[in-house]
Structure 1
């Protein structure tokens, strides 16, 4: 009896350890990269062109980021209601969703300084809502870039006024710019609106000297509405940007929104170059899933 009792206790203990192992192991499993991979219509060379959906589908992307304005410079103007309907129709026809919108008219009417800037944001909110989308990218580049604390404060104040309308419409205003993550959060805090978040671009941030992986982890999932992936003029993985670490950071944050490629392509190799960057991104995601 004593020996049998010892065997029984040993087996029971072993069973408890065995039963506990899967639970313990599951806690150590790194989450997979759960984001979807889109492409911008302008990098398809079809800015504000509904034909972008057919090409994106052909190349294997999960979605398209669409432009809210057509033309260049002073000739740039908001898309028409007809284009909105064509976006929706082409998206449905090809079974390919829109990731978000880009208020590219802010390349002409700078939000930081142009009196028309706030009106353009209001127009963009209405267009984004009409498209049934949640995120609208607000670009701040070139002469429209925020370069001083005063300019950042002005943008924050304008977004405080625009935020309630965006929130009511179910639209997030995503800041894409050349400043640090901390300065973006400073603007978000000044705006005092849950509808104002960061649209994080790894290429822009690297080019401006910021530690991309650290910034992504510091911002966290809830302060990033969407990301742009690129390392122009290089193919992804062939430049200086550590994309495996970026994918790991997004996966660790359980980021499930869109990661949109904004990658350049050679004049005569659009399809091949975009496919190469897409395959690289998907390869990193697959490697993470096996980790």
Structure 2
């Protein structure tokens, strides 16, 4: 369970950690050409929750077996699975990354769908603990001699989810609350080179309103192709308009179908990503037809994504 009286180093004010070098926020939001393996134009991963392997080493092994580059790893309730709050678990995940070559693409707090940022104080604690954990991962990575491995085990992006009970679409009061909370967390994230990534059901205008209101480069959009298409938004126009400067990571997803088997034109998206010079991760989520397991669907989607985006 989440603790309400937490003793995290993350506060609603200036960060108090010492000894962590400032990082350029722009490097947190996108992946440079130099960081991408020469044989790949895009790094492609999947979410541990999408393949039903949350907070475990199994997701990394699955990714390796299917030619994926990374895992979006869940930051869940205290004590769930290989909880990254615990040093021993962080050591296990670092060892797994070293063994598999599959990196931590980002973290994701899907639990915010049940503990909404707009309406609960438990959510404040959850985000604070996640930022605290990201700092620990960064500090521990700095001690590694293998600098390539260090980069692979120090995620800079955390997805904040706004679905179900946490939906803020069409609710100006909830949006105002979220903005005020992000204003408290953004300076901490910015100081450490982290990005607070908003995955919502909002349109581009509402996303821009939040980004501009917070006024920090540490707040960006986690764009999900299927979520936005389902809302009736013109995803091609939105992605081009938001640009790589406002989109930090992308879920490539198609509702009720494999990638390439539904209404979303991923070949068009590939051209669009090139046009806006997006160099971040492409993370496969969902995209499973009725009657097909998520793992089987992700295996097929991995083949499709690698062929389309990296050939």
Q: TM-score range by the shorter chain?
A: 0.7 to 0.9
Any conservation in 1 of the 2:85–2:133 contact (CA below 8 Å)?
A: no
Q: What is the deviation of 1:83? A: 2.6
**Which of 49, 54, 57 is matched with 1:50 structurally?**
57
Deviation >3 Å, runs of 4+: 75-80, 264-272
Alignment of 1:241-252 (within 5 A): 241-252=264-275
Report the TM-score, using the length of structure 1 for normalisation. 0.81
The aligned counterpart of 1:137 is 159
Q: Does 1:102 align with 2:124?
A: no
Any conservation in 1 of the 2:112–2:161 contact (CA below 8 Å)?
A: yes
Task: Indicate the structure (1 or 2) with the bigger Cα radius of gyration.
Answer: 1
CA distance in 1, matches of 2:216, 2:265: 32
The aligned counterpart of 1:284 is 308
**Which of 129, 132, 144 is matched with 1:126 structurally?**
132
**Which of 200, 206, 209 is matched with 1:177 structurally?**
200
Report the TM-score, using the length of structure 2 for normalisation. 0.76
Q: What is the deviation of 1:118? A: 1.8
Structure 1 stretch displaced more, 87-96 or 123-132: 123-132
Quote the RMSD (CA, aligned, Å).
2.4
Q: What is the deviation of 1:93? A: 1.4
May I ask how many residue pairs the two structures share in their alignment?
254
Secondary structure, in 3 states, of the residue corresponding to 2:260?
Answer: coil
**Bigger share in helix:** 1
* 1:122-169 residue CA offsets vs partner (Å, 9 max, x unmatched): 111122233321100000000101031221121111101111111122
Structure 1 segments unaligned to the other structure (5+ residues) = 1-32
Q: Does 1:203 align with 2:226?
A: yes
Any conservation in 2 of the 1:38–1:62 contact (CA below 8 Å)?
A: yes
The aligned counterpart of 2:9 is none
Q: What is the deviation of 1:70? A: 4.9
Secondary structure, in 3 states, of the residue corresponding to 2:223?
Answer: strand
Q: Does 1:229 align with 2:236?
A: no
Secondary structure, in 3 states, of the residue corresponding to 1:244?
Answer: helix
Q: Does 1:68 align with 2:75?
A: yes
Q: Are residues 70 and 59 of structure 1, via their aligned partners in 2, closer, same or farther at CA, if it must alter by over 3 Å?
A: farther
Structure 1 stretch displaced more, 85-94 or 132-141: 85-94
Q: Are residues 80 and 122 of structure 1, via their aligned partners in 2, closer, same or farther at CA, if it must alter by over 3 Å?
A: closer
Secondary structure, in 3 states, of the residue corresponding to 2:301?
Answer: helix
Any conservation in 1 of the 2:223–2:247 contact (CA below 8 Å)?
A: yes
Q: Does 1:156 align with 2:179?
A: yes
* 1:240-272 residue CA offsets vs partner (Å, 9 max, x unmatched): 111111111111111111010002447765554
The aligned counterpart of 1:240 is 263
Q: Does 1:253 align with 2:276?
A: yes
Secondary structure, in 3 states, of the residue corresponding to 1:69?
Answer: coil
Secondary structure, in 3 states, of the residue corresponding to 1:237?
Answer: coil
Structure possessing the higher relative contact order (Cα contacts under 8 Å, 6 or more residues apart): 2
Q: Are residues 256 and 232 of structure 1, via their aligned partners in 2, closer, same or farther at CA, if it must alter by over 3 Å?
A: same
Q: Are residues 226 and 54 of structure 1, via their aligned partners in 2, closer, same or farther at CA, if it must alter by over 3 Å?
A: same
Structure 1 stretch displaced more, 129-138 or 214-223: 129-138
Q: Are residues 215 and 111 of structure 1, via their aligned partners in 2, closer, same or farther at CA, if it must alter by over 3 Å?
A: same
